[in-house]
Amino acid sequence: MIVGLGNPGPGYETSRHNAGFKVVDLWCKDLGLSLSSRRFRAKAIRAEFRGNSIILLCPLTFMNLSGESVRACAGYYGLETHRILVVHDDLDIPLGRIKVVRDGGAGGHKGVSSIIRHLGSAGFCQVKVGIGRPRYGEAVEDYVLAPFYADERGLAEDVLRLAVNACELFVLEGVESAMNRINCQNLMN
């Protein structure tokens, strides 16, 4: 199961905090799919990707309640925690970088904290999409809910594409391969 984190509603659509939603949406477009189901308090779809059965899920709860949706879906399909990949924004990683991790913590991310709490484990994998820190002294809460700065938008699109690639590698080759091939890339260069 690939989980993209974000906040529902048009007011959040372009925010940095919706990086997870954007990655899942991009991958759906590539695959000619749309998240049509409304089960598990989420937009979701079951699909095949190169012979692998996958579930793409974007919780429709707000970020700090994401774990409710993830737990409901994982429980319904009997998914083991290590077969879940959560895609989300990360303030502590600069824009242009992505970090794929296994058994990571929340790092202050409320959506990830909610998933850990509801699954009772941090044993899932993560794709942390770097969004960097505020340039102009904005409060962190305002920064993550704002769009990328105008001069960052092209780089942000490239980073989201790389995150889609990380998801594909996770499904096809496993988390180790995704870590080895993605974590060393820096799109700022």
- Catalytic center residues: 17
Q: How far is Cα 132 from Cα 39, in angstroms, rounded to an integer? A: 33
Count of CB atoms within 10 A of residue 160's CB? 19
Query: Which three-class secondary structure state does DSSP give residue 87?
Result: strand
Nearest to 175 by CA among 78, 101, 70: 101
Q: Are 92 and 134 in contact (CB under 8 A)?
A: no
| Cα(132)–Cα(34) distance, integer angstroms | 29
Strand order in the sheet with 42-49: 42-49, 52-59, 2-4, 85-90, 125-130, 98-102
